[in-house]
Amino acid sequence: MKIDGRRADGFCRAPDRGIRAILCYGPNEGLVRERADAAAHAVVPDPRDPFRLASLGTTAIKDDPARLADELGALAFGGGQRVVRVSGATDGLSSAIGSALSLPSEALLIVEASELGPRSSLRKLFEAADKTIAAVACYDESVASAGAVIEAHLATLGGTIDDDAAALLIERTSGDRAQLRGELDKLALYVGNASKGPIAIDMNAVEAAIGDGGALSLDLVSDAIALGDLAALDRAVTRAEREGVNAVSMLRAVTRHLLRLHLAAGRVAAGQSVDAVMMSLRPPVFFAAQPAFRRQLAQWSTGRIAEALQLLLDAEADCKSTGVPVEAVAARALLRIAGAARSGRAAG
């Protein structure tokens, strides 16, 4: 069944009784993740409970389609309902998910996916099912709903923001909930440290702490590359180009990011913990970005990062010397590196 957009947040925070599966999908990745997290938390309050929460990637299910059914049918040690989460789902998993849902299970299945068109077999599977299986679309926020997210989050921090600053923040983040909350936490820290008083965010603070939209777009490009997320990469590159960021700037931004990742990977290989390494970098990895950075470290070795860095250097040189359109040169290099990240994820 379809869940109406007005009901989506409330439904995910407290799924109806008898719900067996929820698909959260759409272009707003932050909203997809937030709603999936809320639904999981409604059943398993402790996200670190290994007996009641299982996470599966697409590769694991494709390699062993029966594994999903096994996870859904497993009983939790010590009792309680289990949650099984599947991230990065595509239509290629429709058959395995449909087969798993045809079997009796007490667990809640939560599936996360990016944009799925009306003809998507995965989307149809959830939308056409009975009232125990739900599909929740996660599209970009309106200005009003993004403003409500800002107001609610700042209330938990004891802060305020003026209208112009809020509008600029929404524009810079495209209203993405995860980015909004992360930038608000950063702003609260910045303003609190600067004023030593009540947190009051204005335009100057947003400009100083977040920078321009192009810089944020380059961060999105770099993260998508390092994670091997091709859908996110396409959106990030489109956004960067719309904001006037050129191809060479993208290559250099990804180079800076991979140099930072290379330093971190070297320290982890030397025996330091990932948490300690992220805090030791200068600047430290902001806490909202830590989950993505942790996943990147798991996908990349120092040797593979070095190969990617050489590819970026060669690409920039080609941009300046071969006469081939720089956009084509950069796109080829970025796609090759994203493909290497996906290979690392599959191997892991």
- Residue 347 confidence class, pLDDT cut points 50, 70, 90: very low
Q: Which residues pair with 108 in a beta bridge?
A: 83
| CATH 1.20.272.10-classified regions of the chain | 214-347
Domain(s) labelled CATH 1.10.8.60 in the chain stretch across 143-211
Q: Which residues contact 100 (CB under 8 A, 6 or more apart)?
A: 68, 69, 72, 109
pLDDT at 112: 92
How confident is the prediction for the chain on average, in pLDDT?
83
Distances (CA, A) of 310 to 3, 197, 222, 236: 47, 47, 16, 23
Q: How confident is the model at residue 75 (pLDDT cuts 50, 70, 90)?
A: confident
- What is the third-level CATH fold of 143-211? Helicase, Ruva Protein; domain 3 (1.10.8)
Q: How confident is the model at residue 35 (pLDDT cuts 50, 70, 90)?
A: very high
Q: Is pLDDT at 196 greater than 90 in this prediction?
A: no
The fold adopted by the segment(s) 5-137 is Rossmann fold (3.40.50)
pLDDT in tens, 218-241: 888 898 899 988 888 888 888 788
Span 132-141, pLDDT tens digits: 999 998 876 6
Above pLDDT 90, what percent of the chain? 20
Q: Is the pLDDT of residue 213 over 60?
A: no
Q: Among 3-17, 112-126, 184-198, where is mean pLDDT lowest?
A: 184-198
Q: What is the pLDDT of residue 205?
A: 80
Digit-coded pLDDT (tens) for 83-134:
999 988 888 899 999 999 888 888 899 999 988 877 889 999 999 888 899 9
Percent of the chain with pLDDT over 70: 91
CATH number of 214-347: 1.20.272.10
Q: Is the N-terminal amide bond of 15 cis, ω within 30° of 0?
A: no
Give CATH 3.40.50.300 domain extents, the chain: 5-137
By mean pLDDT, which of 4-13, 201-210, 275-284 is the weakest? 201-210
Rounded to the nearest angstrom, the gap between the alpha carbon of residue 331 and the centroid of all alpha carbons in its chain is: 22
CA distance 108 to 44: 10
Per-residue model confidence as pLDDT tens digits over 141-182: 666 677 888 888 888 888 888 877 887 777 667 667 777 888
